[in-house]
Amino acid sequence: MPKTIKNQPPCILYPTLPTDIEHFAAGVVHPIMKEVITDYRKLMNDSATRKIWTTAFGKELGGLAQGDNKTKEPGSDTLVFLTHDEIANIPTDCTVTYARIVVNYCPQKASPDRVPITMGRNLINYPGELTTQTANITTTKIMWNSIISTPGALYACIDLQIYYLGTPLDRYEYMRIPNALIPQHFIQQYQLHEKAKMDMCIWKLEEECMAYLKLEFLPINY
């Protein structure tokens, strides 16, 4: 890296970026109290933030399920909500884990308010393949050597949306979430009051949800 770049602090190289690292790290900042918040429960229970963040959570859930009517987010059929009978028939060798809700703010996204969901990794016991098939190191080296050694070569990278949701599982996995955390508009759309068991909704994850089994932050780019 050229010394003229290497020795310059970020505020000199990128004068338009905020200098407060806490904000630059995409924390959710309360609009009035200016407090950095990482707990979805706190955002959903605050009148100043409730509407934005419950709507964002409904969009995330809808993208994973069969769509969200409020935000018009299309569904990916990654998960379905179970009835009481389906809950009773969960295979005994499957551990029902919990949902971990993460909140962050990504100003570069079309929808900057993000509420990704991950599965509690400490309870996951999946016997199948836990990796996503990608190119091996030899293929990668051939590609980069070709680019570097070709005069005037152009190279582009792309970000595939919901890439990990396209990795199939060999069996269903299951998780549950308190009904109180789910936005009311989403509860009504999916009639979750009828499906909730002991104030908990249990989801059956469809075969396209390897990301939720394997990864802790939602790598899912909605």
Q: Does residue 35 belong to any structural domain of this protein?
A: yes
Domain that residue 53 falls in: 28-125+165-214
* 118 falls within a domain: yes
Say if pTM beats, i.e. exceeds, 0.75: no
Q: Is the dihedral of CA 164, 168, 171, 177 positive or negative?
A: positive
Asked whether residue 20 is domain-assigned, the answer is no
Residue with tokens 């060999």: 170
Asked, for residue 158, whether it belongs to a domain, the answer is no
The answer to whether residue 105 sits within a structural domain is yes
Looking at the DSSP bridge assignments, the partners of residue 202 are 176
Token pair 């469809």 is found at 206
How much is the pLDDT for 12?
A: 45
Over residues 168-172, mean pLDDT: 77
In a domain, 87, yes or no: yes
Instruction: Report the domain count for the chain.
Output: 1
Cβ neighbours of 171 (radius 10 Å): 12
Note the pLDDT tens digit of each residue in 40-67. Answer: 999 999 999 999 999 999 999 998 888 9
Task: Give per-residue pLDDT as tens, 175-201.
Answer: 888 888 899 999 999 988 888 776 556
